[in-house]
Amino acid sequence: MKKPILVGVLALQGDFACHLSQLESLQVAGCEVRRADDLNDLDALIIPGGESTTMSELIDRFDMRLKLTEFVRHRAVWGTCAGSILLARKVDDPRVRPLGAVDMVIRRNAYGRQVHSFYDEIEARLNGTVSRLKASFIRAPIIEELGGKVTILAEYQGSPVLIEQGRCLVSTFHSELHDNTLLTRYFLECIVLDGRKGCPG
Amino acid sequence: MNFEDKDYRIRVGLAEMLKGGVIMDVINAEQAKIAEQAGAAAVMALERVPADIRADGGVARMADPDIIESIKKAVSIPVMAKCRIGHFAEAEILQALEVDFIDESEVLTPADNANHIDKWRFKAPFVCGCRNLGEALRRIGEGAAMIRTKGEAGTGDVSEAVRHLREVIGAITRLTVLPEEELFSAAKELRAPLTVVKMVAERGKLTVPNFAAGGVATPADAALVMKLGAEAVFVGSGIFKSSNPQQRAVAIVTAVAQYKDPKAVADCSRGLGEAMKGISAAEIPDENLLQVR
């Protein structure tokens, strides 16, 4: 890293600890975000996996919606699984009120219940290079529609599973459950620092 | 026993996703919806909550599939269900019903007094209860993807969950400072597989998420177990045996999400009405304890 950055992980519910330990292993400062004020000094935010209904409800209960919506519009953000649902423009289920940062329509639990959850390796085009990522799809959503400003970085079984739009990164799968930090490094170096040099690939 | 198995990692993965959340016991679709709206991360589909199982006596078994199906239809969050200890046929039924997590639970009457289920051969993940580290590690050795304390279910008395959490976490801490050659006899004392003992000694924590259950009845109880190191909280009878389940469900979810902030826990604890009456775990004769199963 060229300059010290601070990355927050939304810690209302979910696997926020996995993201924090990936950041720690890369010697990047990370912190839990449980209140709107926790967003103040952050360079970037990760919205982890977990239950999107729970997170959506707690975002409103703790009066975080306004500040979060503002944050994800202007600063670097990465949503994984439930986090990707929260970043969408539209969700198939009214129980989740998304933040609308990314021009996409997403469907929850689209592969089915837990017995249909699975692991696979996927190929992603990161910074001009094809990289293999370890991917766990756990009660994962499927992106059903994409707007014109969205770039697809990886597809799986004909659906986009890793996309970016501006400073938003969206993965419908979990890479943070594995020891491979490639996607975290991509987020930090190519989106947070926004320096196209030195991106992993 | 292959802790690197991809399907096993996927099972543990769901447990990771439930961290920081509340898993609520529900007996019908209406209760399940209240739980989901309150922000529960999952529900446990049951025929009777533990307090009623305790009061009714008799043999407690897996719930009617109709109850489980109606709860699955009512909510979008993961649905768990309980099978009896060692009753792998009940577990197979629950897996066929596509339940998201199976609780091999001491709250039901055990079906096998010598063996737990071989959980490695299931696609559905299992959670098992424990009172101490040895029990936790044996269950992990059998393939459990999540461990929870047993506490003393259906009492509304959190003291046993506290005891079990302290037992487990204290014993892990002691393992981490043992020289490697002493881990062999530690495994023997814990009556647990050496591989699992070694992994836990190295990491300083269980290899699967460690949740609290058994006797949580108030937001303060939930905050207490989180502060003691639990990674999420199961609430059994504590919500729907209280005078105002909806408000209490909301409050307990808030307390778990904000457990580090006593002011927030204070605020959500106001005006909740009566908590479940409960019984002191110390007054229960040993032969009626669920945790010894």
C-alpha B191 chain-centroid distance: 22
Q: What is the mean pLDDT of chain A?
A: 94
Residues above pLDDT 70, as percent of chain A: 95
> Which burial class, exposed, middle or buried, applies to B286 when counting CB atoms under 10 A from its CB (0-12, 13-18, 19+)?
exposed
Candidates A36, A18, A32, A124; CA nearest to A80 is A18
What are φ and ψ of residue A32, in 5° steps?
Answer: -80, 140
Q: Is B251 helix (H, G, I), strand (E, B) or coil?
A: helix
Residue A10 has pLDDT above 90, yes or no: yes
What is the DSSP annotation of A48-105? -SS-HHHHHHHHHHTT-HHHHHHHHHHSEEEEETHHHHHHEEEES-TT------EEEE
Model confidence over B51-82: pLDDT tens digits?
Answer: 999 889 899 999 999 999 999 999 999 999 99
How do beta strands A142-146 and A102-107 pair? antiparallel
Instruction: Say which residue the tokens 């490695």 belong to.
Output: B120
Find, among B227, B208, B211, the residue nearest to B219 by Cα: B227
Backbone torsion region of residue B81, taken as left when φ is above 0, otherwise alpha when ψ lies between -120 and 50, otherwise beta: beta
Classify residue A94 as exposed, middle or buried by CB count within 10 Å of its CB (0-12, 13-18, 19+). exposed
Q: pLDDT digit string (tens) for A96-141? A: 999 999 999 999 999 999 999 999 999 999 988 999 999 999 999 9
Question: Is the Cβ pair A82, B17 closer than 8 Å?
Answer: yes
The domain spans of chain A are 6-198
Instruction: Give the span between the Cα atoms of A65 and A10, in whole angstroms.
Output: 12
CB-CB: which of A12, A95, A139 is closest to B257? A12
Contact A51 B10 (CB under 8 A): no
- A167-176 confidence digits (pLDDT tens): 999 999 999 9
CA gap B194, B171 in Å, rounded: 15
Considering A18, A19, A51, A81, which one is annotated as catalytic? A81
Count of pairs with CB atoms under 8 A, one residue in A, one in B: 111
Is residue B88 pLDDT above 50, yes or no?
yes
CA neighbor of A26 nearest in space, from A132, A180, A134, A190: A180
For residues B185 and A128, give the distance between their C-alpha atoms in angstroms, rounded to a whole number.
53
CA distance to partner chain A, nearest, from residue B179 (Å): 26
Distance from CA of B43 to the nearest CA of A (A): 12
Confidence of residue A4 (pLDDT cuts 50, 70, 90): confident
**Catalytic residue check, A190:** no
> If you average pLDDT over every residue of chain B, what do you get?
96
Q: Which of A21, A54, A95, A109 to mutate to test the interface with B (most CBs of B within 10 A)?
A: A54
pLDDT digits (tens, 9 = 90+) for B7-32: 999 999 999 999 999 999 999 999 99
Residue B235: CB partners within 8 Å, gap ≥ 6? B22, B23, B24, B25, B216, B217, B222, B252
CB distance from A118 to chain B under 8 Å?
A: yes
**Please, which residues bridge with residue A119 across strands?**
A136
Question: Which residue of B lies nearest to A56 if distances are taken between CA atoms?
Answer: B39
Which amino acid, A70? E
With beta carbons less than 8 A apart as the criterion, state whether A55 and B40 touch: no
CB A90 within 8 A of CB A99: no
Q: Classify each residue of B142-155 as buried b or exposed e, where b means 16 or more C-beta atoms within 10 Å of its C-beta.
A: bbbbbbbbbbbbbb
Fold of A6-198: Rossmann fold (3.40.50)
| Chain A closest-CA separation from residue B85 CA (Å) | 21
A176 is catalytic: yes
CB–CB contact A114 B16 (8 Å): no
- Is the pLDDT assigned to residue B188 strictly greater than 50? yes
Is the ipTM value over 0.90, yes or no?
Answer: yes
The amino acid sitting at B222 is A
A174 is catalytic: yes
Position A92: which residue type?
D
Three-state SS string across A97-116, please?
A: CCCCCEEEEEECCCCCCHHH
Contacts of B20 in chain A (CB under 8 A): 11-14, 16, 50
List of E strands, chain B:
22-26, 42-45, 79-84, 101-105, 126-130, 146-149, 210-211, 233-235
